Structure 1
Amino acid sequence: MCLAVPTKIVKIEKDQIAEVVLSGVRMKVSLALLPEAKLGDYVLVHVGYAINILSEEEAKETLKLLSELEKEKADGKNIRVIYSPIDALNLAKENPEKDFVLFGVGFETTTPMIAHTIKVASKKRIKNFYVYSVHKLIPPALKVLVKDENIKINGFLCPGHVSVIIGSNPYEFIARDYK
């Protein structure tokens, strides 16, 4: 699962390293993908990298949602990780009296299966199945990297399975704008 967590930058160190706070815990993250981030900014952190700047309102809203989900699960609510969107759809089909929300995360490669699941739900008239999509794209991350003059890039090894889904057009800016 790919989940980015909102944190607040409380200290910026040299070499594009920042200290952030998450639930009262301080940790170090890289700003290599987000060099424009500054002290006090709220940033999404994924696998140790700040990947996006958020407004304070967006960060607090996301943290509130995560906190509420944790509380609901602790209170015995049925919140679980599934491995296929079809699994979530089957749960909805088996329990028509309950609403099911699939929290769809990932990159370009996970969106087709979720889109297919939405089509199946529509075709089967399953009315208690919802999707909350927070998918990410590879090309914007690459753009951040090539814009940074401090990073010397000789080439990219990109995920072929993503390129099969999105094609080569989204990558053309690299050859065109960053020779």
Structure 2
Amino acid sequence: MPAGNSAISARLFLALWPDGEARAALCAARDVVARTMAGQWVKPDNLHVTLAFLGEVAQERWPGIVRVADAIKVPSFTLTLDRAEFWPRNGIVCLGAGQAPQPLSDLAQGLAQGLKQAGFILDQRPYRPHLTLARKGRSGRTALVLPEPVAWRVDACSLVESRLGREGATYTPRQTWRLQNVEAIPGSGSVG
């Protein structure tokens, strides 16, 4: 976390965090989905694809997350989000990929294995990449093929802090790693 952060713990997750171009394309896709599905829409600044949810993490454990992320060697890739889905069981409206690229699967699996070996407890369900667009969703249909898929060039992953407030959740990337050369991006913050 940035120097001077006096937090004893923080709610953290690792994620694909879109750049401005990808975020604009995701918002355009959200507008298309909003014509047929409803819900409490996620703020544009909070759109992301979770790789691993860590929950509340004590400050002394943060360097362990960094070591795991530092060790991942995965090339950049394109994630094509080509469908919207409504998951009635948990009320989520999300974007999904008809086919997840292998580097994404390798990234999620590598992070999960490293984090488990470092003593973190993760969700046991198989990884299913998705980008949540809305919570408390409603829809008469469960899927929609996007007329214009979002082709998001992914070249980094981020450690993100989640803070809950009156306005809802605020997500702040704390450190980012490039995928193609797997090094911390200068100026992206420091956890250790």
TM-score interval for Structure 1 and Structure 2 normalised by the shorter chain: under 0.3
**Which one has the largest radius of gyration?**
1
Question: If the length of structure 2 is used for normalisation, what is the TM-score?
Answer: 0.23
Higher-RCO chain (CA-CA 8 Å, sequence separation at least 6): 2
Which structure has greater strand proportion? Answer: 2
Question: If the length of structure 1 is used for normalisation, what is the TM-score?
Answer: 0.24
Which structure has greater helix proportion? Answer: 1
